[in-house]
Amino acid sequence: MPARVLDGKALAERVRGEVRDEAQALERRGVRPNLQVVLVGDDPASAVYVRNKTKAAEECGIQGDTHRLPATAPEADVLGIVDKLARDPAVHGILVQLPLPKHLDEERVLLRVPARKDVDGFHPENLGRLLAGKPRFEPCTPAGVVALLAANDVPIPGAHVVILGRGPTVGRPLSVMLSQKGPRADATVTLCHSQTKHLHMQARVADILVAAMGKARFVQPQMVKRGAAVVDVGINRVLDPTHPKGERVVGDVDPAVAELAGWLSPVPGGVGPMTIAMLLRNTVRAAGLQPG
């Protein structure tokens, strides 16, 4: 039997409806949630992500603007915009779209975003709160993964979760979230990376397998236990002469895994929409924490 689809698009629509209701409740109190985006450079993928985020925000009643700078912008200019937004009491959330051009110090820029406006959940204070089990804003993609599993009744407590990829935006925070106490956690987590020995064997024993390595179709059927839940976080562009754009987006998981897995998230339409939904949820929460 083919895997059940972890439909992020449908769940994200439901979450966005909840966010819309929360935004309207805040507006009745005189607070209009405000999300500001800083986009440096002309990377096509980043431009698409920002467009999707701002459109979704508008539909949920969240106002905001995108501040665009050229790829050659000096770091002082980028920091100046972030500092200005940080001081503005009407701004509740600041999103610096990653990746930044290589001449910019990504860590320095992100640290200029105040923790209470860090709706991406990357600030050290927010990551520290997450580690302590008292999160303010959970990182958006990991939060989307957990919500997707929970909404589809994938058993998490007691499960063996294997995460492929230890990156700071997905793998590491997700390992913390799933290993803590709670109805959507209490898992035993193995965090794998490029130096993990016998990685294929590690993946094979997972009840829940999360692929976040950024390698197209890396996870093959022989790496998946029958009936496992497989979450594909990868977004990779591969050449495809049959596609109108000459390329297509694929995940880190080979589609053939669907014949073996119990659940599988599609790419696109799985984790991606949930990431945006969690960003909007964090923005509304930030608005509730700050004076309007």
The CATH number of whichever domain residue 54 belongs to comes to: 3.40.50.10860
Q: Is residue 13 one of the residues assigned to a domain?
A: no
Element spanning 94, H or E: strand 93-96
Distance in angstroms (rounded) separating the CA atoms of residues 32 and 68: 23
pLDDT at 291: 61
**Are both 153 and 268 inside the same structural domain?**
yes
Do residues 51 and 64 lie in contact, with contact meaning Cβ atoms separated by under 8 Å?
no
> 267: Cβ–Cβ under 8 A, 6 or more apart, which residues?
232, 234, 235, 249, 250, 251, 253
Q: Is residue 130 one of the residues assigned to a domain?
A: no
Q: Is residue 259 one of the residues assigned to a domain?
A: yes
Q: Is residue 235 one of the residues assigned to a domain?
A: yes
**Are both 98 and 203 inside the same structural domain?**
no
Does the annotation mark 97 as catalytic?
A: yes
Element spanning 12, H or E: helix 8-28
pLDDT at 292: 47
**Are both 159 and 114 inside the same structural domain?**
no
Q: Is residue 27 one of the residues assigned to a domain?
A: no
Domain containing 60: what range? 32-120
pLDDT at 246: 79
**Are both 147 and 244 inside the same structural domain?**
yes
**Are both 238 and 146 inside the same structural domain?**
yes
Distance in angstroms (rounded) separating the CA atoms of residues 234 and 228: 18
Identify the domain boundary among 120, 151, 186: 120
Q: ∠ CA 284-286-292 to the nearest 5 degrees?
A: 90
Q: Is residue 255 one of the residues assigned to a domain?
A: yes
**Are both 111 and 168 inside the same structural domain?**
no
Helix, strand, coil percent values for the chain (each to nearest 5)? 40, 15, 40
Q: Is residue 177 one of the residues assigned to a domain?
A: yes
> 174: Cβ–Cβ under 8 A, 6 or more apart, which residues?
139, 141, 142, 145, 146, 163, 210, 212
Do residues 191 and 157 lie in contact, with contact meaning Cβ atoms separated by under 8 Å?
no
Active-site annotation holder among 7, 36, 117, 120: 120
Give the burial class of 120: count Cβ atoms within 10 A of its Cβ; 0-12 exposed, 13-18 middle, 19 or more buried. Answer: buried
**Are both 64 and 98 inside the same structural domain?**
yes
**Are both 191 and 267 inside the same structural domain?**
yes
> Please, what is the end-to-end C-alpha distance for the chain in angstroms?
52
> 77: Cβ–Cβ under 8 A, 6 or more apart, which residues?
69
Do residues 248 and 208 lie in contact, with contact meaning Cβ atoms separated by under 8 Å?
no
pTM, whole model, 2 decimals? 0.95
Active-site annotation holder among 36, 53, 117, 118: 53
pLDDT at 276: 96
pLDDT at 237: 86
Q: Is residue 8 one of the residues assigned to a domain?
A: no
**Are both 165 and 258 inside the same structural domain?**
yes
- Strands 93-96 and 188-192 turn out to be unpaired
- Token pair of 292 as six digits: 């309007």
- Token pair of 26 as six digits: 């805040």
Report the CATH number at residue 160: 3.40.50.720
**Are both 156 and 213 inside the same structural domain?**
yes
**Are both 111 and 228 inside the same structural domain?**
no
Q: ∠ CA 76-62-114 to the nearest 5 degrees?
A: 35
Helix, strand, or coil (residue 289): helix
Count structural domains, the chain.
2
For residue 292, the tally of other CB atoms under 10 A from its CB is 15
Does the annotation mark 21 as catalytic?
A: no
Question: What parts of the chain have a pLDDT lower than 70?
Answer: 291-292
**Are both 262 and 231 inside the same structural domain?**
yes
